[in-house]
């Protein structure tokens, strides 16, 4: 099943100069780049459409942050100014917007068999501190939940990767015009006929 997927190398990845190493990991697995662009920062209109979250997400993320605060012995009132889970989720959502709007973004569209699943596997879990070695976040991530909470910002986790084929289609449409995507064949495509 050939799929397309969006990958965003976030400001922390671009500024650290690890874009080539990260892209190499994807290309070595047979994925091909069919779209790429370097941006000064995410356009606020695009970032708000990309990271817009609903009330259910706000509540879930707020509850997770309340649990993190309790586990780390941090006062949510000092960090968020509230103990309301939904409001905390909204604040975290704003932190996500600010994160991608503050610096350079390298946006890519990859194509290949099971691209969405393959990319998610290579990227690893959301939080670098819990991402296993061998994943991009596990090998290159430096940030932690405690640091992000203390600094009142999103966790710097280097990269975004679409979670489902439907999400990929939507996200690609936000970041790329159809004419910005190209089509070509890599040599192994002829061998494996995909």
Instruction: State the catalytic residues.
Output: 160
Structure tokens at 167: 């999400």
Q: State the DSSP string of 72-134.
A: TT--HHHHHS---HHHHHHHHHHHHHHHHHSS-EEEEEEEEETHHHHHHHHH--SSGGGSPTT
Task: Kindly tell me the sign of the dihedral angle through the C-alpha atoms of 62, 68, 70, 72.
Answer: negative
Q: What is the dihedral of CA 3, 141, 41, 59, to 10 degrees?
A: 80
C-alpha span between 172 and 156 (Å, rounded):
22
Cβ distance 131 to 125 under 8 Å? yes
**Distance set, CA 175 to CA 27, 44, 94, 115, 122 (Å):** 21, 12, 19, 18, 21
Q: Is there a contact between 36 and 108 (Cβ–Cβ < 8 Å)?
A: yes
């Amino acid at each position: 099943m050939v799929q397309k997927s969006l990958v965003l190398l976030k400001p922390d990845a671009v500024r650290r100069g690890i874009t080539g190493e990260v892209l190499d990991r994807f290309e070595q697995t047979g994925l091909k780049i069919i779209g790429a662009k370097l941006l000064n920062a995410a356009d606020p209109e695009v970032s708000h459409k990309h990271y817009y979250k609903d009330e259910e997400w706000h509540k879930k993320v707020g509850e997770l942050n309340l649990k993190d605060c309790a586990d780390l012995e941090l006062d949510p009132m000092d960090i968020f100014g509230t103990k309301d889970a939904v409001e905390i989720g909204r604040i975290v959502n704003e932190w996500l917007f600010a994160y991608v709007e503050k610096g350079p973004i390298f946006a890519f569209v990859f194509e290949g068999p099971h691209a969405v699943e393959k990319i998610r596997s290579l990227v690893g879990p959301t939080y670098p501190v819990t991402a296993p070695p061998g994943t991009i976040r596990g090998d290159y991530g430096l940030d932690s939940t405690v640091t992000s909470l203390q600094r009142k910002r999103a966790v710097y986790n280097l990269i975004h990767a679409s979670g489902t084929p439907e999400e990929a289609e939507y996200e690609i449409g936000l970041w790329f015009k159809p004419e910005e995507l190209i089509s070509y064949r890599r040599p192994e495509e002829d061998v494996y006929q995909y």
